[in-house]
Structure 1
Amino acid sequence: MLVIRPVELGDVEDLHALALKAGKGLTSLPPDHETLAAKVQRSTESFARSKNHVDDYFLLVMVDTAASRVVGTAAVYGTTGTRQAFYAYRLMSVTHHSHSLDKQIRAEMLHLSNDYTDCAEVGTLFLDPAYRGNGHWLSRSRYLLMGQHPHRFQPYVIAEMRGWLNEEGVSPFWEAIGRQFFDMSFEEADRLCGIGSNQFITELMPKHPIYTCMLPDSAQQVLGKPHVDTVRAVELLEAEGFEYDKMIDIFDGGPILRAKVANLFSVKATAHKAATIDDELGTSPKPIYMLANSSLKSFRVVCEPAVMAGQTAAITSATAAQLNIASGDEIHLLDTGKTS
């Protein structure tokens, strides 16, 4: 069975193995034991707290219980920009008009912005390629967490998507802008951000607008374009209600999407019932739901059959055990559209 739960201190080695599979560009999952251990510690402290904290960070992992190993990750930051402003580029259109020539020229420019500071943020979505087909509910598990514990998250949530890289793994956007101002490779900047050393962004990033027409064509063509491996993730976000509003990452030019937590599809579509136990559920096809308990510290999500009737939802004893709930406890159900 696959179970989604909060990360634990013993998961660091599994996380490191996943980070190596993720490759470069997934800054929030660096292949560095010390950094990963710090992230795990920060997450466990966040799940243990009962009140908001500036460092709130919730890292969920998908676990294959049969193999006893972590096979996927998904995270939520309670608030962005608590230690330093959250910077991004906003793509803005400007119009220049010449009365003497009776000519109007439209141009686009990159404007450094911290408009998305003080939003919640989802990220670190990665699934072991051997488990493809489970990314949808791994992603949505974060919205179940946010919907049940809204006091721990800001009203709006953003998602930074990996930007486009060419076949050689080079970011045209970084080569056009980042390398010129940071005097380092994309890999080095990505590594520094991954281990939390991102003060250099504030210190070295150009503060004045940049006209996109001054950039090489290769860079102009990837503004707001996601990495080929991230296209599906963007589609999942858009299905939830996230929207792209011309905000892009300052490193690789990837799109940044935003939504109101209360308006997310998964939050609005979740049913809240009292659990009952019925081990005869497996005798005939039943709807499959994403099922979650109500705990924060011991949050659990599984994808299993259930039957709703009135104010109750019947699940098997095995499912109840994985969710750490008993008959009568509250259970949260999100329809997957599939049957057992």
Structure 2
Amino acid sequence: MLIVRPIAMADFDALRVCAVESGHGFTSLPVNDALLKQRIERSEYSFAKPNVIAPSDESYLMVAVDSETQQIAGTTGIEAAIGWDVPFYSYQISKLVHSSERLGVRNVVRVLTLGNNYTGCSEICTLFLRPAYRHGLNGRLLSKCRFLLMADHPQRFSETIFAEMRGVSTDAGDSPFWQWLQAHFFSIDFTLADYLTGIGKKGFIADLMPKLPIYINLLSPQAQAVIGQVHDDTKPALALLEQEGFSNRGYVDIFDAGPTMECDLRHIEAVRHSALAQVRIGPVSAGEPYLIANNVFDDGVPTQGALNRFRATIASAQWEPKQQQIRLTPDVAQALEVESGATVRLLRQPSPI
């Protein structure tokens, strides 16, 4: 069983392994010890921060722990509000019409325009599951546990939630889209540009990125082909977000042209359909799979400063909606650090355990 919990500094070595294994194009996990430690420190600060009434500088990073081996199986995170301290750039795809009535010619062309339209929005990010754990419902757990956290604490997040999806790149770290940009505007390769962005050194973007819209039909065929496409390893994550109601509204990443997916917080399926229930501990004879999270609430009121006790897992349980109760086995209750009578948030899972 995997249990998701807030990251701690003791998890640094495991997080570094995830950063190395994630490979090229995974900007939010740079292989940089100082930056990884800063991310852990920011997360510890954010989970412990009380009285949050609006998103600001918080960063929530979590890890999935194998309950049997205590190994870190993966990581997942949320940035409460991006773009305030360090600019956040993206390309917006739009259309221009060139027409001449005299000649009877009308051409519709697509263009890429650089902008900062996601400034202040919450970003779900850093979802990485180690290869040995890519089976069953583990990916679903890492993706959807963030939405249960948002459902219980919406004031900590913005109205718009988005995710940058990893775009197409080769095993060697080459991006067809970046290769075109590099040839015309930059003198650094994709892996270096990706790394500099991951460690927060984005000044070169404003210095060198073309300021005027880029006509897509002028790009190389290889670059045009990958706009809005995802890396093969990212396809499962993309499918999960689409099931949650996320869609691409014309924005792509400025380096690999991977799609940016977004959804209003209140419209996310897991937020809309999750429910609260009171815990009963005992044997589960005819259980069904549920994503379950303790919500550190007391009588419906958030326990301030206790968010670092957040735990989530997927387990077999028995839910009685009319009684607003859920029966958990002792080991599941222990993993979630809840006792009988506590309140949890749950979401029915369609796949078998």
TM category (shorter chain) comes to over 0.9
Structure 2 match to 1:294: 295
What RMSD in Å do the two structures reach over aligned CA positions?
A: 1.5
Residue type at the aligned position of 2:32: D
User: For 1:167 and 1:65, how far apart are their aligned partners in 2?
Assistant: 32
2:55–2:155 contact (8 Å) kept in structure 1: no
Closer/same/farther in 2, CA of residues 2 and 198 from structure 1, 3 Å limit: same
- The range that moved more, 127-136 or 53-62, is 53-62
Matches of residues 197-212 of structure 1 in structure 2 within 5 Å? 197-212=201-216
Residue type at the aligned position of 1:325: V
User: For 2:165 and 2:69, how far apart are their aligned partners in 1?
Assistant: 30
SS of 1:221's equivalent in the other structure is helix
Structure 1 match to 2:302: none
Matches of residues 186-335 of structure 1 in structure 2 within 5 Å? 186-278=190-282, 280-281=283-284, 284-295=285-296, 296-309=307-320, 310-335=323-348
1:14 matched to 2:23: no
Residue type at the aligned position of 1:163: G
Displacement of 1:19 = 1.4
User: For 1:196 and 1:71, how far apart are their aligned partners in 2?
Assistant: 26
1:161 matched to 2:165: yes
Q: Which runs of 5+ in 2 are unaligned?
A: 297-306
Structure 2 match to 1:111: 113
Structure 1 match to 2:300: none
Matches of residues 46-57 of structure 1 in structure 2 within 5 Å? 46-50=46-50, 51=52, 52=54, 54-57=56-59
User: For 1:274 and 1:246, how far apart are their aligned partners in 2?
Assistant: 42
% identical aligned pairs: 38
Residue type at the aligned position of 1:139: S
Q: Which of residues 180, 184, 193 is equivalent to 1:180? A: 184
1:144 matched to 2:144: no
Q: Which contiguous aligned blocks of 4+ residues in structure 1 show a shift greater than 3 angstroms?
A: 166-169
User: For 1:32 and 1:219, how far apart are their aligned partners in 2?
Assistant: 29
Q: Which runs of 5+ in 1 are unaligned?
A: none
Closer/same/farther in 2, CA of residues 235 and 251 from structure 1, 3 Å limit: same
SS of 1:297's equivalent in the other structure is helix
Closer/same/farther in 2, CA of residues 327 and 167 from structure 1, 3 Å limit: closer
User: For 1:8 and 1:194, how far apart are their aligned partners in 2?
Assistant: 20
SS of 1:241's equivalent in the other structure is coil
Q: TM-score, normalised on structure 1? A: 0.95
Displacement of 1:91 = 0.9
Displacement of 1:200 = 2.3
Relative CO higher for 1 or 2, CA cutoff 8 Å, sep ≥ 6?
2
Closer/same/farther in 2, CA of residues 107 and 53 from structure 1, 3 Å limit: closer
1:75 matched to 2:77: yes
User: For 1:249 and 1:221, how far apart are their aligned partners in 2?
Assistant: 14
Residue type at the aligned position of 1:129: P
1:115-136 deviation per Cα after TM superposition (whole angstroms, max 9, x unaligned): 2211110011110110012111
Structure 2 match to 1:39: 39
